[in-house]
Amino acid sequence: MKRLFVLALITLVVASLSLLLIAARPLQGSSPPDWSNLVSVLTWVAAGGAFYYIGKGLSLLLEKVPGWGSKFPAFLRPWTVLILGVGAAFGAQYLITQVDLLAKLSPWFERVILLGFIWYGTQTQFEEMKAADRILRPA
């Protein structure tokens, strides 16, 4: 009985925190962030954007890693997304208040994001060329 009470209490806390974050979303703006601006990305994560990417990441992890999908309990999947999403949102909210740290991290964040966009662009271009059989091979 005590275990059920603790589970119900945890459910109530996580659900209320999730609702709090969802309620704050219209105040933060619902447009996608400027991906090269760290403060914009952190604001979007704090407003609830973390839930989408954590859900996608967990789904990809459980699908691609052999044996994890069958061993990870199905009833824990939504709880994992909720708890990690709330943690990421509160972490982003805390980082927004650290102005000195943001000033140091912003240039590096822009470089990493730019490298990610370049890598993704080259990979998609390579896949398109491979599909169209336009890759030059040695004779």
Please report the pLDDT score of residue 104 as a whole number.
92
CA distance 29 to 45: 11
Smallest CA-to-CA distance from 36 within 123, 99, 108 is with 108
Please report the pLDDT score of residue 117 as a whole number.
84
Buried residues in 32-60 as b, exposed as e (16+ CB within 10 A): ebeeeebbebbbbbbbbbbbeebbeebee
Please report the pLDDT score of residue 100 as a whole number.
93
pLDDT digits (tens, 9 = 90+) for 39-78: 888 888 888 788 888 888 888 888 888 877 778 888 888 8
Q: List per-block mean pLDDT (blocks of 10 residues) for the chain, which spans 139 residues.
A: 65 59 51 79 84 85 80 83 88 91 90 87 82 73
